[in-house]
Amino acid sequence: MEISQMLKEQRKKYELTQEDLSEKIFVSKKTISNWETGKTTPDIDSLIRLAKLFDLSLDELLLEGSTIVEEMKKKEVAYQAQKISVLGTGLTNALLMIFLFIPGVSDYFYMSDAMYGLLLLIILANGYSFLHHQKEVKQYLGTDLEIKQFTRINFIYAAIPSIFIVIKLLQRFIL
């Protein structure tokens, strides 16, 4: 039996609504719905709370819903890939922004308008690459807190380089 089916059956057995269950294990109603439809799977903290609430062992939850073990492995791989992705594109963008925006660094090199355009395209491509990878990783996030933190990091990562680029372009071409 899949973990999604088991959770739904146990919730109904204990005569709980999705909202009641969500309050008892500290997640949103939407998270419960996603678990029951199989869109996402519970994280380990939620599994422990569910096991206690439904008076089941973790073995019963994990072994009967064997896909959850596989999903947890996928999550771990995704988190490792996320670290590498953030490091690579983040360092590249940081070096490019240092080159473009710190006074004195770019003064040693002549930079044509075409070079500014090329650097801008590189920064945008790195940002797009990062955001695309993050979108792929998002499917492995389970709790609302993980999704909120994930969304906040994505916004910061995309917004900061964009603001710097606009400032530099205004300095270069308008002021």
Q: Check: CB of residue 23 under 8 Å from CB of residue 12.
A: no
Residue corresponding to tokens 């933190």:
149
> In this structure, what token pair is assigned to residue 152?
């906040």
Strand, coil or helix: what is 17?
coil
Provide the CA 141 distance to its chain's centre, in angstroms: 7
> In this structure, what token pair is assigned to residue 169?
């372009």
Cα→Cα distances 130→47, 72, 89, Å:
30, 23, 7
Provide the CA 90 distance to its chain's centre, in angstroms: 15
Rounded Cα–Cα distance for residues 133 and 82 (Å): 7
> In this structure, what token pair is assigned to residue 121?
């395209």
Kindly give the residue spans of alpha helices, DSSP state H, lying in 14-43. 18-25, 29-37
Rg (C-alpha) for the chain, rounded Å, is 23
| Burial classification of residue 146, based on how many CB atoms lie within 10 Å of its CB (0-12 exposed, 13-18 middle, 19 or more buried) | middle
pTM (2 decimals)? Answer: 0.43
Residue corresponding to tokens 């490091």:
87
pLDDT in tens, 80-137: 766 666 667 777 777 777 776 666 666 666 667 777 777 777 777 777 777 776 666 6
Q: Which residue has the higher pLDDT, 105 or 74?
A: 74
pLDDT in tens, 10-30: 999 999 999 999 999 999 999
